[in-house]
Structure 1
């Protein structure tokens, strides 16, 4: 499997405050890797290091593919239309305006948002804003999406629809995704693999491989079925053995 992103013994310290403690992972092309852990343990900080927004105190991050962050707050520019918001990334990459327009329009059409190109962010639902945020990341030609609890503020039904949407574009575009969440059901629905972080300073307690077909409650090799994975994750996160 082609390696898209590699973190080796990544640690981060601000003065006497230790945030991350020797975190390592290898993320394969097309993989969907989720990260769970207690609030404030450093999950978001780790994403920022992977995106080269922060420099680790020790360790290294390698990988040549372009990555882009998708936040819980979509961070759309309220004074711009949806089309203009998506055009921002290719324009910042040096594309001519006509080319940026074509890229943005094509992506919005692919994501079934082309009817809303002239709308402003305040006119869209929460789920649609998140779709635009993902479109903007794809417009930057990102091959890796680093997603920081992007659906946490959405209601249950909207979140379910966004799961289907994300899995669809993940498959169609062969994207590599790292996904921070607190929701174990979300992890099981979306992920190929999950890393569990400890309390701060964060270290990797355990990494689980999840079965692809959750309708079959069976174990395949080292993969866990959905019921087993949920039970195991609850045990780990509640600090229990077994």
Structure 2
């Protein structure tokens, strides 16, 4: 039986400003099991990124419980690569900050670069890479400190459609091959279905969870996001999630 490594229970978050108190999250509850990918799917401004910021302790919840078993790596919407550092130096920056840049850690990074087709680019600079390759570098940088849980905040949103599909395939394979658990934030229904084991639907603000759906896509061979989009059940899931999302309500 898979272990629960993230448990969020009755999470509430209010912000305070000039116009008074704003309720952003209301009684949010979900779990992430070891080895799974959970997607938080909701309209823009529904508090998806706020949940991730609470998981990383960048924000404190107003009330509720958050229990995490493991370490977290955060992959942002933008790659945030430093243009004056080459690819290898960008990837090792987290190790430098944590004072963990050991020979063993460098060997691990070198193996990741070789496995995922980035080795020959290690001495190049970010402006010499495509957007898709920059995102792969950003993921390897996130993995360099060996987190057990990955938080992915709309990591493909800055890419064109074709590149987005290809990079989502790459990221999915890396997550699976490296035996990581992940929480993905997106407002793209197709992306959520193709990447996930579970999809949690968030309402408009104040965000509540309207439903959590298991995604079971049977296919021949290894599952990938691109192959997932071709499975007949994919459209059934799309219709269910489309109807449940507040984005399309009048």
Normalised TM-score (structure 1): 0.91
1:136 alignment counterpart: 141
Paired with 1:187 and 1:41, the residues of 2 have a C-alpha distance of 16
| Correspondence 1:196 to 2:221 | no
Matching of residues 1-242 of structure 1 within 5 Å: 1-15=2-16, 16-96=21-101, 98-213=103-218, 214=228, 217=232, 225-237=233-245, 238-239=248-249
> Does the 8 A contact of 1:91 with 1:97 survive in 2?
no
Cα distance between partner residues in 2 of 1:192 and 1:88: 31
| Number of residue pairs matched by the alignment | 233
Task: Output the CA distance in 2 between the equivalents of 1:216 and 1:145.
Answer: 26
Task: Say what the alpha-carbon RMSD is for the aligned residues.
Answer: 1.6
In the alignment, structure 2 segments of 5+ residues that lack a partner are 219-227
Contact 1:147 1:179 (C-alpha < 8 Å) held by counterparts: yes
Cα distance in 2 between the residues matched to 1:98 and 1:46: 35
Match of 1:222 in 2: none
CA distance in 2, matches of 1:204, 1:79: 42
Post-superposition shift, 1:100?
Answer: 4.3
Please list the CA deviations of residues 197-219 of structure 1 after superposition, one character each: whole Å capped at 9, or x if unmatched. 111111101111111325654xx
- Answer yes or no: is the 8 Å Cα contact 1:19–1:200 preserved in 2: yes
Gaps of at least 5 residues in structure 1 are 218-224
TM-score (norm 2): 0.88
Task: Give yes or no for contact 1:8–1:61 (8 Å, CA) kept in 2.
Answer: yes
